[in-house]
Amino acid sequence: MTGITILKNHVLFHEGMNVKWNEPRPSIDGIPLSKFADLVLRWSKYSGYLLRTQKTGMRKSSDHDGSPFEDFYDIYFNVTTDDYTESADPYISITFHDTLDDDYDYVGMARVSRRATTAYKWGDKGEMCEKRFKIYRAEIKRKEGDAEIWFRDELAPLQGILDDLDQTTRTLRSWADSGLSMRVVCTKLFCRSYNSAIIGSDQLLLDAGEGLSLDDFNQKMRCKVCGARSPILSVV
Ligand SMILES: [Zn+2]
């Protein structure tokens, strides 16, 4: 197993089953931590497409029991089954911590206990609050071969694909012309998993032909179940 851990101001390299930390080195040229945050933030819009065409999937998990609160995003390559972890080589794990700072990457929901201590579980479920999260570290692991070289070869194409998708989905017309279908999911947390629809590019072409912008199109749609407007649009 070889690996790299990228932190804010430096990088750690490790090798072998017994993780042996080498001397910290300055960050890898051209790969600041912010690139990983960017990857995570753009991912959800394209997750279905990336899984289908690149066999690359992302899973999110959280640990909000201790301090700081942590959100983890694991990127799996060569995904061939529903169980991503079976093919977890190589993989990237990106960790965000909650922050009070104005410099943050996204706002997420966390269940905040009313009790300050974490020494005991009080059975206190707390309440859902908005929390700011900022990227803390990215770890890249590979069973064989050099993790850094692999990553350098892998990240650039992946970012290129995301850049192309950003361009493709910028307008309703370009989205329709690309031939990619659109998944429409309700924004309401408890509605979304039960109420998504797929719109084919032929239908998108018709709407684009009527001169609708992507914004118009989005605002025109209304959830059949709860009535919410402006759903989340993603590429299938
Ligand atoms: Zn809904």
Tens digits of pLDDT across the chain (236 residues): 678 888 887 777 777 644 555 555 555 666 788 889 999 999 989 998 999 998 888 999 999 888 899 999 999 888 887 777 666 678 899 999 999 999 999 999 888 766 555 555 555 567 888 999 999 999 988 888 788 788 878 877 888 999 999 999 999 999 999 999 999 999 887 887 666 789 999 999 999 999 899 999 999 998 888 888 999 999 98
Q: Residue by residue, what is the 3-state secondary structure of 110-157?
A: EEECCCCCCCCCCCCCCEEEEEEEEEEEEEEEECCCCHHHHHHHHHHH
CA of 234 to the centre of ligand 1 (A): 16
Whether 162 and 177 map to the same domain: the answer is no
- Looking at the structure, do residues 179 and 157 belong to the same domain, yes or no? no
Distance CA 111, CA 105 (A): 19
96 and 202 part of one domain: no
Distance in angstroms (rounded) separating the CA atoms of residues 31 and 50? 22
Angle (deg, nearest 10), helices 33-54 and 147-168: 70
Q: Positive or negative, the Cα torsion across 120, 121, 122, 128?
A: positive
Max alpha carbon distance in the chain (Å)? 62
- Ligand 1 geometric centre to CA of 74 (Å): 28
Residues 134 and 201 in one domain: no
For 161, the domain range is 2-167
98 Cα–ligand 1 center, Å:
29
Tell me which of 167, 184, 199 is where a domain ends: 167
Q: Are residues 78 and 54 in the same domain?
A: yes
- Boundary (domain end) residue, out of 117, 149, 167: 167
- In a shared domain, residues 150 and 222: no
Count: domains in the chain: 2
Say how many Å lie between the CA of residue 228 and the centre of ligand 1: 5
Domain shared by 114 and 220, yes or no: no
In this structure, are 190 and 101 located in the same domain?
A: no
Ligand 1 mean position, distance from CA 198 (Å): 15
pTM: 0.81
Same domain, 186 and 162: no
- Do both 162 and 64 map to the same domain? yes
